[in-house]
Homo-oligomer: A and B are copies of this chain.
Amino acid sequence: MVQKSKGQQTKEEVITSAVKLFNMNGYSGTSIRAIAKEAGVNIALVSYYFGGKSGLLEHLMSTFLEGYIQTLEEAFQETDLEKEKISGRLMKIADRLIAYQQDCFYLSRFVHREMTLDTVLVRELMATYLMKEKYLLEKIFLEAAKRRQIRKIPVDLLVMQYRDMIIMPFLQPQYIRKVFFLQPNDGYFRRSYLKFIEHWVGQILKSHDHYRVNVLPHARAY
């Protein structure tokens, strides 16, 4: 491995400090002065390397979502061959995505939070990444529906809840810590939580009850 150049090194220090501060105080709530001070570098370097504060934001968010989608796609394609087990597919995806978010714990919360804002960047990122996420997840649940393993449950809502189960602990880690005394970023939580998801998946796939179907008539009207 090639040794890191000096520039690359400070670049990463800026990123580390930025993630830390953005995670705590939000994007608008953090100044590049504070970032530079935290990283122990000069203020001007942020503009120099990332083209300003907004460039830094864009870089961080794209990086996270890029890795997120890549992780999802890998887990998706790995299980493509063994078509018999949908639950296994869902569990592998959940496992990988949770591990990924644990790896970049601070960045996760920050990006997820920032994605709830109404900005041009967010809309672009949604169109680029989250649409693909939805597409892949929907495919799995539609396959399950096709095999009659689930019945009469709006697939949209299932996808939404499945995704939310994966993301929520990393969007609200402080809530989970302070109110439930759980640590979303440790291995114990991951194992417990995965079992919980596994249970959920089991329930969903075996549900042959009388839940009234509606594929949400106008859901596709747009």
Contacts and interface: CB of A to CB of B under 8 A. Distances in A.
B113 A116 contact: yes
Contact of A134 (B174, B180, B216): B180
B202 A214 contact: no
A83 interface: no
Nearest to A173: B116
A171 to B, nearest CB: 6
Interface string A136-162: 000000000000000001101101110
How many copies altogether?
2
A153 B117 contact: no
A24 to B, nearest CB: 4
A48 interface: no
A28 interface: yes
A54 interface: no
Contacts of A2: none
Contacts of A117: 24-26, 29, 113
A172 interface: yes
A219 interface: yes
Contacts of A123: 178
A1 interface: no
Interface of A: 23-29, 109, 113, 115-119, 122-123, 126-127, 130-131, 134, 153-154, 156-157, 159-161, 164-165, 168, 171-172, 174-176, 178-182, 188, 192-193, 195-196, 199, 202-204, 207, 209, 211-212, 214, 216, 218-222
Report the 10 A-B pairs with minimum CB-CB distance, sorted nearest first. Answer: A28-B28, A28-B29, A181-B222, A24-B118, A199-B211, A157-B196, A203-B203, A113-B116, A134-B179, A164-B168
